[in-house]
Amino acid sequence: MHAAPLAPSALRMLRAAGACVLALAPALACAQAVALTGILGSKALLVVNGSAPRAVAAGETHQGVKVLSVGRDEAVVETAGARRTLVLGEAPVSVGGRGAGTGRRVVLTADSRGHFVNTGTINGRSMQYLVDTGASVVAIGQPDAERMGLDYRNGPPVMMGTANGTARGWRVKLDSVRLGDVEVFGVEAVVTPQGMPYVLLGNSFLNEFQMTRLNDQLVLEKRH
Q: Which pLDDT score is estimated for 163?
A: 65
Q: Which pLDDT score is estimated for 61?
A: 92
State pTM to two decimals. Answer: 0.57
Structural domain contains residue 78: yes
Q: Which pLDDT score is estimated for 147?
A: 86
What is the count of structural domains for the chain? Answer: 2
Structural domain contains residue 82: yes
141 plus 201 within the same structural domain: yes
130 plus 216 within the same structural domain: yes
Q: What is the largest CA-CA distance in the chain?
A: 54
Distances (CA, A) of 146 to 86, 134, 192: 16, 25, 11
Structural domain contains residue 2: no
Per-residue pLDDT of the chain (224 residues; tens, 9 = 90+): 444 444 444 444 443 332 222 222 233 334 567 888 889 999 999 988 777 889 999 999 998 889 999 998 889 888 766 777 888 877 666 655 544 455 788 888 888 889 998 888 898 888 889 999 988 999 999 999 998 888 899 889 988 776 677 888 999 999 889 888 788 899 999 999 888 899 999 999 999 999 998 888 888 888 87
38 plus 108 within the same structural domain: no
Structural domain contains residue 69: yes
Q: Which pLDDT score is estimated for 31?
A: 57
135 plus 208 within the same structural domain: yes
Cα 36 to chain centroid distance, Å, stands at 17
- DSSP character string of 162-182: ETTEEEEEEEEEEEEEEETTE
Domain-terminating residue out of 58, 92, 126: 92
Which domain CATH number covers 60? 2.30.30.830
Report the distance separating Cα 163 and Cα 161, nearest Å: 7
125 plus 68 within the same structural domain: no
Amino acid at 161: G
Q: Which pLDDT score is estimated for 171?
A: 94
Range 161-169, long-range pairs (CB < 8 A, 24+ positions): 161/6, 161/11, 161/14, 162/11, 162/14, 162/15, 162/193, 162/194, 163/14, 163/15, 167/193, 167/194, 168/3, 168/193, 169/6, 169/193
41 plus 137 within the same structural domain: no
Under 8 Å between Cβ of 167 and 194? yes
DSSP character for 195?
Answer: -
Q: Which pLDDT score is estimated for 183?
A: 86
Distances (CA, A) of 127 to 42, 73, 156, 167: 29, 23, 23, 24
Report angle CA 80, 146, 185 to the nearest 5 degrees.
55
Q: Which pLDDT score is estimated for 37?
A: 86
Which domain CATH number covers 185? 2.40.70.10
Structural domain contains residue 158: yes
51 plus 162 within the same structural domain: no
Q: Cβ-count burial of 51 within 10 angstroms (0-12 exposed, 13-18 middle, 19+ buried)?
A: exposed
Domain-terminating residue out of 92, 113, 133: 92
Q: Which pLDDT score is estimated for 211?
A: 92
CA atoms within 13 A on the CB side of 82: 20
64 plus 112 within the same structural domain: no
- DSSP character string of 42-72: TEEEEEETT---EEEETT-EETTEEEEEE-S
Q: For residue 159, what are the contacts with CB-CB under 8 A and spacing of at least 6?
A: 3, 4, 5, 166, 167, 168, 169
71 plus 113 within the same structural domain: no
Structural domain contains residue 62: yes
103 plus 37 within the same structural domain: no
125 plus 174 within the same structural domain: yes
195 plus 217 within the same structural domain: yes
Range of the domain at 75: 32-92
